[in-house]
Amino acid sequence: MCSREIVTLQLGHYSNFVGTHWWNIQDASFLYNPTEAQQKEKEVDHDILWREGRTLKGEITFTPRLVAVDLKGSLNTLKQEGVLYETNQQEDIKWSGDITLHKSTPAEKNAYLTELEKEDQAILEDKGRLPGTSDVIYDDVDMKDSSSNTTKDTVEISNYAPVVFGKVFHNLDDVVRVWSDYLRVYLHPKSIHIIEQYSHLNSLHPFDIHGAGHKALEDHEARKELEDRIHYFSEECDSLQGFHVLVDTHDGFGGFAAETLQHLQDDYSSKSIMTFGFTPSNLPDDTAVRRANRILNSVLSYHRCFTHSSLFFPLSLANSLWKTIGNYANFPQLDYKLIDYHTSAVLAASLDTVSMPYRTVNPIHMCDITNNFNSLGKKVGSMSTALPFLLEAESNFVDMIQELEGHLPWLSITPHCVNQSVPFMQSVVVRGIPENIPRSPRGLYSSCRSVNDTLQVYLTENFNSCLNAGTVVKSPTKVCTPFPHIFRKNINKHGLVSTTERHQFEGIDSVPMMTSMQSSPDTAQLLNTLYTEAKKLNIRKHARYLECGLEEDEYQEILQDVADLEKCYRPKSDMG
């Protein structure tokens, strides 16, 4: 059966942090032992987000169907073209006179990346050649023909158990500077696109306002290169269903995304575009200018995202973003730091779980979600997550659901949405919950004989005026290395709450999770607070935005569009 593929775009440094964790989580779920793969029921169709290729020497590659965009100097030790198909060619110097060649000192790999390199070297010595690497020429042979015996659960390119997953690296918090510092997976040579006009962390020429992103794509060659990369991955799909777009909404990448989303909407008008807008929790908040820039960038980015997307989800671990950043999501069993490496991991695990309904072996179509959610103009959604779902080692799903006693099992990761209202509709995913249902459940759950039965009763009883869709996935979320060590000591190796503390050198392999993707009246609060704060700003006093082409009348129209969208989420009684 042909998979309905999705192409993923990551636009921005923080979005690449989130995306890196997301691909690592998926990679950790691959089964490397063919015997184990045959015995275990296949749940997730990895063909939807990943692609196969083959080198001329017959080596199979398996990489994300991804275009990742960042600034110059943001890759650290990672080469832009990746390492799978490098040719090790020397630079061709045509100058005939005297030359002086200056070479910068290469960045050093951290302990985690060094361990990965040793692992690859061991395979090189064992097989005589690193799978999918060396100096071969890449040939885009389609691996979907029936002659291939490869499955996505037994990936030939990595047909070995990655021992590094079983090791605990306690110092990654201190050494991770960019997203490639913990990238586990191989990327296709066409995946990484660098914006050459701007440098990462350059305070003299910052990429910090929405208009800078527009300017970055004014160059014809730069735009063509980006579009060619998108076309490369989309045109090889047999049945493309749409795009995931991860975007930073607080800086210039919001403007870059606006141009990119418009291109997707124009060239792929029949496809779904699900956009996730990220804001880091640790943005500088010490000056009025920085706060104003954050508000202006956000209102401009949000407007473009919900205008050019099928569905848009603003996401952050900060519950408040406009006047000040703060009131961070307080997960009862997490001790995370306000660093990108930590906060992006929580968002990535949530994204991996919430997207399960259209990534399983028998999925619904992405457009089924986007069309239902954006009915009557509701194109902005919210998301909540339980990481981990609080399940005691000796308990079961029925007991834990009943112990909630009206409290929600999840926390919001959409700023300014606090789950105070019953949603219009929601898609709830439960994963990694053992099927140890008690023989004689009590009360409302007396007829439940499975996790799915329990979930359906819970949704019906607690959200009876809401259109609910519930999905149960048996496999838990993989949070082994290089996922950060953010779980408290009473969470055991399998993500369950235990009475015995975990050893300090023992990592966590996986956790159960529960997520909710919602269209909710609470979204009105998000849009109202953003509109209120943005309206207070006199755009004529922000010359850099005007210099990049933003006009005062256009800004007022954007504010009005946000205000009009807010009305879609108000109950009719509030609209008089």
Do residue 397 and residue 546 come from a single domain?
no
CB-facing half-sphere around the CA of 198: CA atoms within 13 A? 27
Q: Which of 211, 244, 223, 192 is nearest to 71 (CA)?
A: 192
The answer to the question of residue 509 being in a domain is yes
The answer to the question of residue 98 being in a domain is no
Do β-strands 425-431 and 411-412 pair in parallel, antiparallel, or remain unpaired?
unpaired
Cα–Cα distance for residue pair 240/233, rounded to 1 Å: 10
What Å distances lie between residue 8 and 226, 285, 409, CA to CA? Answer: 13, 31, 29
SS3 state of residue 561: helix
Last residue of a domain, one of 341, 359, 375: 375
Peptide bond into 388 cis (omega under 30): yes
Do residue 428 and residue 541 come from a single domain?
no
Do residue 145 and residue 190 come from a single domain?
yes
Do residue 150 and residue 220 come from a single domain?
yes
Q: Decide if pLDDT at 251 tops 90.
A: yes
The answer to the question of residue 229 being in a domain is yes
Do residue 344 and residue 424 come from a single domain?
no
**DSSP 8-state secondary structure symbol assigned to residue 358:** G
Last residue of a domain, one of 313, 348, 375: 375
Give the DSSP per-residue string, 277-339: EE--TT---SSHHHHHHHHHHHHHHHHHHHHHSSEEEEE-SEEE-SSS-EEE---TTB---SS
Give the model confidence (pLDDT) of 171-181 as tens digits.
889 999 999 99
> In this structure, what token pair is assigned to residue 180?
């490639």
The answer to the question of residue 89 being in a domain is no
Do residue 474 and residue 349 come from a single domain?
no
> In this structure, what token pair is assigned to residue 147?
């002659």
**Domain range for residue 544?**
526-575
The answer to the question of residue 451 being in a domain is yes
More confident residue, 271 or 36: 271
470 in Cβ contact with 456 (< 8 Å): yes
The answer to the question of residue 482 being in a domain is yes
Do residue 431 and residue 540 come from a single domain?
no
**Stated pTM of the model:** 0.90
Determine the average pLDDT of the residues in 345-360: 97
Do residue 511 and residue 390 come from a single domain?
yes
496 in Cβ contact with 476 (< 8 Å): no
Do residue 548 and residue 454 come from a single domain?
no
Please identify which residue in the block is written with the tokens 């100096």. 135
Number of helical (H) and strand (E) elements in the chain, helices listed first: 15, 18
Total number of domains constituting the chain:
3
Q: Decide if pLDDT at 153 tops 50.
A: no
User: What percent of the chain has pLDDT above 70?
Assistant: 84
Specify the range with the lowest mean pLDDT, choosing from 216-220, 490-494, 567-571.
Answer: 567-571
CATH code of residue 366: 3.40.50.1440
The answer to the question of residue 107 being in a domain is no
CATH code of residue 436: 3.30.1330
> In this structure, what token pair is assigned to residue 404?
């909630």
Do residue 259 and residue 307 come from a single domain?
yes
Last residue of a domain, one of 375, 410, 428: 375
The answer to the question of residue 34 being in a domain is yes
Give the model confidence (pLDDT) of 38-97 as tens digits.
667 789 999 999 998 765 556 778 899 999 999 999 998 788 876 566 544 444 444 455
Do residue 272 and residue 397 come from a single domain?
no
Give the model confidence (pLDDT) of 453-502 as tens digits.
999 999 999 999 999 999 999 999 999 989 999 999 999 999 999 999 98
More confident residue, 399 or 140: 399
Do residue 477 and residue 464 come from a single domain?
yes
Determine the average pLDDT of the residues in 204-229: 94
Residue 497 is predicted with a pLDDT of 94
